[in-house]
Structure 1
Amino acid sequence: MTTDKPATIQQHAMRYGTFMGIFWIFKFAFLPLGFTIPLLQLFFILLTCFVPILGYIYTRKFRNYYCEGVISFSRAFSFTFCTYVFAAMLTAVAHYIYFRFIDEGYLVNMYLNQLEAIKSSATGEMLTSVDQLITAFSVVSSLSPLEITFQLISQNVIYGTLLALPTALLVMRRKKQ
C-alpha cells in the first residue's frame, strides 16, 4: 500500500545534504593538495565560495518542486539548515578518516611552515598576529583526530546556520492572492 503523502523537509534535506556533503568532501580533497599545487588551493577557495550558491539552488529547487512554488521563511530556513547539518555530518566522516589515517600532521605543519616564513619578514602588529596564529596552530596540532572532527562539524553547522538565514530570505515566496 502506497500513499501520496508528500515527503518531509527532513527527507529532502537528507537527500540534498548528502549531495552537498559529497561536494564538501570533493572540495576538501583540494586543501592538502593545494600545498603542492597552488592552483588547487585556488580551486578549493572557489569551490568554498560556491557552497552558499549551492545551498540557494537546493532550497529553490525544494520550493519549486515540492512546495508548489510557495515557501515560508521558517520552512526555507529549516530546510536549508537541515541540509547543511546533514552535509556536515557526512563530511565529518571524511574528515575523521583523513585526520585519523592519512594526515599525520601534514596540514598543521604546512600552515606552520608558511607562518614561520611570513614571520621572518613581519614587523610590528603583523608579527604579533603571526605569533598568535602560530600559537593557535600549535594548539590545533595537539588535538586528536576526533577532536578536530568535532571542531570542524561544529564550525560547519555554525556557518550553515549563518548561511541559512539569507538563503531563506531570498527563497521564501508567499502565495499569490
Structure 2
Amino acid sequence: MDINKSSNDEYRQFTAFARIDGAIIGVMWVVSFFCFIGNLQMPMLGLAGMAIGIYSIILAAMRLRKFRDRILGGRISFGKATLYSIMTYFYATILMAVGQYVYFQFIDQGYMVNQTIAMLSMPETAKAVTEVYGMDPKQMIAILQATMGTIRPIEIAFQFLTLNVILGIIISVPVGALMRKQ
C-alpha cells in the first residue's frame, strides 16, 4: 500500500512541476507571440520575440535539470525526462492557444491581415512574392483576404495548438536524452 501511495505522490509532484514549468514557458511564448505581432510595426520586436522563443527552450531544459537534481536526487530516466518535457510543452501550448484565441477574438480586428496586405503591396515585397511563389501579389492578397475572412479565431488557435504540440514532442526527445541521468 505504501508503494502505491509513494508512486502516486511522485506522479502528483511530477505533474505539478511540469504544470508550473509549462506556465512559465507558456507566458514566455505569449510574450513572444505579442512581440511577433508588434514586429509588424517595430521590427526590433521580432528579434526580441525570437530570442524569447529560443530562450524558452533552454529554460525548459534548465528547469527539467533543476527538477531532476533537486526533487529526484539527480536521477531521471530518458523516458521520464522526455515525458516531463512533453508535459511541460503541452501545458505551455494550452496557455499559448488561450493567448492566441484572446488576441484573434478580441484584439486583432483584422490588424494582422491588413499589415500583411500592406506589406504585400510594397513594390520590393511584390517582386519577391512573384519570384518565390510565381504568383501575382494581387492574387495572393485576394486569397489572403478570402481565407482569413472565413477562419474563426478558435480555428487559428487550434491550428497553432496542434503545431506547438508536435514541436513540443519533437523538442522533448533530444531534451530528454540530454537530461537523463542514471
Give the corresponding residue for 1:15.
20
> Take 1:60 and 1:138, find their aligned partners in 2: how far apart are those partners?
47
Bigger share in helix: 2
Post-superposition shift, 1:124? 6.6
The superposition leaves residues 95-125 of structure 1 with CA deviations (integer Å, 9 ceiling, x where unpaired) of 1111000001212332233234345323875
1:162 maps onto 2:151 in alignment: no
Between the aligned partners of 1:92 and 1:113, the Cα distance in structure 2 is: 26
Selected match of 2:57 from 28, 37, 52: 52
Whole-angstrom distance in 2 between the partners of 1:31 and 1:123: 21
Partners of 2:140 and 2:72 in 1: how far apart?
46
Q: TM-score under structure 1 normalisation? A: 0.84
1:43-79 C-alpha deviation (Å, 9 max, x unpaired): 1111122222122111111111111111101000000
Aligned counterparts of 2:26 and 2:93: Cα–Cα separation in 1: 6
Give the aligned CA root-mean-square deviation in angstroms: 2.5
> Any unmatched runs of 5+ in structure 1?
none
Matched pairs, number? 172
Structure 1 SS opposite 2:76? coil
Say which of 137, 147, 153 aligns to 1:145: 153
TM-score by length of 2: 0.82
> Closer, same or farther in 2 for the Cα pair 1:155/1:140, shift >3 Å?
farther
What does 1:19-30 correspond to in 2, within 5 Å? 19-30=24-35
Asked if 1 retains the 8 angstrom alpha-carbon contact of 2:40 and 2:115, the reply is yes
